[in-house]
Amino acid sequence: MDLLEYQAKELFHQVGIPVLPSQPIAQLSELKHLHIRYPVVLKSQVHSGGRGRAGGIRFVQNTIDAVAAAQAIFSLPILGEYPEVILAEARYDTQKEFFLSILLDYQLQRPVLMGSAKGGIDVETLFKHMHKVILDQGFSPFYARRLAIKMGLEGSLIYRVSIILEKMYQLFIEKDLDLIEINPLAVSASGEVMALDGKITVNDMALSRHLDLLSFLGPKVDKTYSETSPETIVTTPPQKPRWLGSKEKGGNVGIIANGSGLTLTTWDLMINYKEPPVGAFIIEEKSSSKSLIKQLRIAIEKMLSLAEIQVILINIVGSDQISKLVSQTLIDYCQPLLVTSHSEERLPRPTGANSTHQRQITSPPESQPIQLVVRLATEDLQPIQASFANLPIHCLGDLNEAIKKTIALTQSSDTIKQS
């Protein structure tokens, strides 16, 4: 279950993470009785990122401006989602912005601390300065200080950021979270820190232990619940994957992954190999099987529409059943995948067991089909690898090996272009 910003900040406040005075607004009339002083910032409360660029964050100086801005925000869909609540929040004089996160790495089966000294909306810069610390033996303040030092912090900031990380970890454990993120953690001229935005993902299977979180369930959730049957809580995430673009030119790799944390890790590894991606599609981490497959298809189609893409790296972590569904989807979708970087009509060949008509896309001799590198975290990988025989799909179980294979394919593609 993904919480909205104002809900995440309620939990931040409970453990002592500093947040600004704010007020959720569900009706325009509530702006006439605002409890915080102007100027304020109005923020669309949706689950997707990129609110600022989409026009979902606006600064206002008075009530008249606030009503007009709020009306525009309520009418603005961001990746298909309309806000039902707007957060009115006090302004903050920011000198620096950091990124902090704790996520549960399912491959390592351990929490991972992540931090960047360049937080904010410039994702490319944020990733270039990303550092991480794996919690090998449970949490200790040492790990928090270690991350702060790796981020390049000095003096009192080491202590203040370490305290924030400790409180984040407290919340991470107490509420059975999969992800807790502050971006940005702002620093004022006096050195005080403030969580200006937050994201929290709660493990759905743990909701039966946290009845207080049920109040956060919105209209897109079936609220049927019993203590003995937590599986009756059914969330309905957005049906479209979120796009994360890069400002850096020259890449030819697109990433598709489930969950922000996994996408961030994959992107970070690509940058470490000096291969910044063109962009990434983020599939909602808590999607149902049906929703995940639908989002995967949409993401692949959109990737194929980008002329610079030569290799698509798909990183999906889930159950063995999910891995089988993903592999079958790719087989149905890409058998064969005869789409090239030189084709004006970049459409997959329609396939399927019942297909009676198939359209071929002819490739020039010097071109090369788009390659797919698929990383699936499943123990029974060999049958899946065998099913991809004679297809432009390379399946691996280790993320680092998948990254290396992706790099090798991009270099091969570049060689063909140059020749």
The pLDDT value recorded for residue 417 is 55
Contact at 8 Å (CB) between 155 and 147? Answer: no
Q: Which two tokens stand for residue 10?
A: 């309620």
The pLDDT value recorded for residue 342 is 36
Q: What Cα–Cα distance (Å) separates residue 204 from each residue in 33, 100, 131, 201, 333?
A: 36, 23, 28, 9, 30
124 or 159, higher pLDDT: 159
Convert the pLDDT of each residue in 136-192 to its tens digit.
888 899 999 999 999 999 999 999 999 999 999 999 999 999 999 999 999 999 989
The pLDDT value recorded for residue 353 is 35
The pLDDT value recorded for residue 361 is 29
pLDDT at 334 over 50: yes
**Average pLDDT rounded to a whole number, residues 84-108:** 91
Convert the pLDDT of each residue in 222-260 to its tens digit.
333 333 333 333 344 446 788 887 766 778 899 999 887
Convert the pLDDT of each residue in 338-360 to its tens digit.
443 333 333 333 333 333 333 33
Judged by average pLDDT, the poorest of 25-29, 236-240, 378-382 is: 236-240
User: How far apart (Å, rounded) are the C-alpha atoms in residues 66 and 390?
Assistant: 59
The pLDDT value recorded for residue 210 is 83
pLDDT at 416 over 70: no
Convert the pLDDT of each residue in 206-230 to its tens digit.
877 887 787 776 444 333 333 333 3
Q: Which two tokens stand for residue 379?
A: 């123990």
335 or 24, higher pLDDT: 24
User: How far apart (Å, rounded) are the C-alpha atoms in residues 188 and 352?
Assistant: 58
The pLDDT value recorded for residue 377 is 80
pLDDT at 302 over 60: yes
Q: What is the mean pLDDT of the chain?
A: 81
Rg (C-alpha) for the chain, rounded Å, is 23
Taken in order of first residue, the domains within the chain and their CATH numbers are 21-90 (3.30.1490.20), 96-202 (3.30.470.20), 242-412 (3.40.50.261)
Convert the pLDDT of each residue in 46-69 to its tens digit.
987 778 888 999 999 999 999 999
- What is the per-residue DSSP string for 211-229? GGGGGG--TTEE---BTTB
**Average pLDDT rounded to a whole number, residues 391-413:** 89
Give the SS3 label for residue 321: helix
378 or 281, higher pLDDT: 281
pLDDT at 267 over 80: yes
The pLDDT value recorded for residue 368 is 58
Q: What Cα–Cα distance (Å) separates residue 60 from each residue in 39, 42, 87, 95, 334?
A: 6, 8, 13, 21, 50
CA 81 to chain CA centroid, nearest Å: 16
Give the SS3 label for residue 374: strand
- The strand order across the sheet containing 253-258 reads 242-245, 279-283, 253-258, 311-316, 371-376, 393-396
Q: What Cα–Cα distance (Å) separates residue 186 from each residue in 4, 250, 271?
A: 19, 32, 25
Q: What are phi and psi of 37, to 5 degrees?
A: -80, 150
Residues for the chain: how many in total? 419
**Average pLDDT rounded to a whole number, residues 357-377:** 59
The pLDDT value recorded for residue 107 is 74
The pLDDT value recorded for residue 120 is 80
The pLDDT value recorded for residue 337 is 46
User: How far apart (Å, rounded) are the C-alpha atoms in residues 197 and 5?
Assistant: 6
User: How far apart (Å, rounded) are the C-alpha atoms in residues 100 and 182?
Assistant: 5
pLDDT at 287 over 90: no
Q: Which DSSP state fits 204?
A: G
pLDDT at 324 over 60: yes
Q: What are phi and psi of 393, to 5 degrees?
A: -125, 125
Q: What is the pTM of this model?
A: 0.58
The pLDDT value recorded for residue 167 is 96
